Chain A
Amino acid sequence: QVQLQESGPGLAKPSETLSLTCSVSGGSITSYYWSWIRQSPGKGLEWIASLYYSGSTKYNPSLKSRVTMSVDPTMDHLSLRLTSVTAADTAVYYCARLVGDYYHHMDVWGKGTTVIVSS
Chain B
Amino acid sequence: DIQMTQSPSTLSASVGDRVTITCRASQSISTWLAWYQQKPGKAPKVLIYQASRLESGVPSRFSGSGSGTEFTLTINSLQPDDFATYFCQQYNSYLFTFGQGTKLEIK
**A contacts, CB < 8 Å to B:** 35, 37, 44-47, 50, 58, 60-61, 94, 100, 103-107, 109-112
- B100 surroundings in chain A (CB, below 8 A): 44
How many of B's residues come within 8 Å of A, CB to CB? 22
- A111 surroundings in chain B (CB, below 8 A): 42-43
Classify the interface of chain A: helix, strand, loop or mixed.
Answer: strand
Classify the interface of chain B: helix, strand, loop or mixed.
Answer: loop
Closest B residue to A4 by beta carbon equals B43
- B91 surroundings in chain A (CB, below 8 A): 100, 103-105
Q: Which one, A61, A105, A109, contacts B95 given CB within 8 A? A: A61
Contact check, B89 vs A105: say whether CB atoms are below 8 A apart.
yes
Interface string of B41-76 (1 = CB under 8 A from A): 011111001100001000000000000000000000
Closest 9 CB pairs of A and B: A47-B96, A109-B43, A45-B98, A105-B49, A105-B34, A58-B94, A103-B32, A44-B100, A105-B91
Known A103-B92, A105-B49, A106-B46; judge A44-B101 contact (CB<8 A): yes
Interface check B83, CB cutoff 8 A: no
| Known pairs A47-B95, A47-B97 / 11 extra A-B pairs, C-beta < 8 Å | A35-B96, A44-B100, A44-B101, A46-B98, A47-B96, A47-B98, A50-B96, A103-B92, A105-B46, A107-B46, A110-B43
